[in-house]
Amino acid sequence: MQKIKLKSSHWIVDQKNRIVMGEGRLLILDRIEETGSINQAAKSLGMSYKTAWSKIKSTEAHLKIKLVDTDRNRGSHLTQEGRKLLENYRKLKAACIAADDKIFKKIFSK
């Protein structure tokens, strides 16, 4: 048997299965923090400013927190709540991947 592995994706969704947080939003928020610009973050990910901003606003509305502060002079940066969301999502993702890997090995190493 060829060596195989499990590749998992995890999303936080609302009651209607709409994405609240996932890998795409993680990347957007990370890039905003790196570049200081929503526009540059969006371009680096191959999406429009409008698409990136829409995803941010959707997540903010679901969670009732502000994720990104924008200022014409200072650019854009994550709020404390935005950084905490990234930290918590990364912790969740790591725990899910560890659990997924454990289950995968138990089932497929027979």
pLDDT band per the 50, 70, 90 thresholds, residue 5: confident
Domain with 77 in it: what CATH number?
Answer: 1.10.10.10
10 in a domain, yes or no? no
Q: Which domain holds residue 26?
A: 19-108
7 in a domain, yes or no? no
In the predicted structure, residue 1 carries a pLDDT above the cut 60: no
91 in a domain, yes or no? yes
72 in a domain, yes or no? yes
77 in a domain, yes or no? yes
40-49-88-20 Cα dihedral, nearest 10 degrees: -170
Q: What is the pLDDT of residue 3?
A: 84
Q: What is the pLDDT of residues 8-65, one digit of tens each?
A: 899 999 999 999 999 999 999 999 999 999 999 999 999 999 999 999 999 999 999 9
31 in a domain, yes or no? yes
**Domains: count for the chain:** 1
Q: Is 58 helix (H, G, I), strand (E, B) or coil?
A: helix
pLDDT band per the 50, 70, 90 thresholds, residue 83: very high
52 in a domain, yes or no? yes
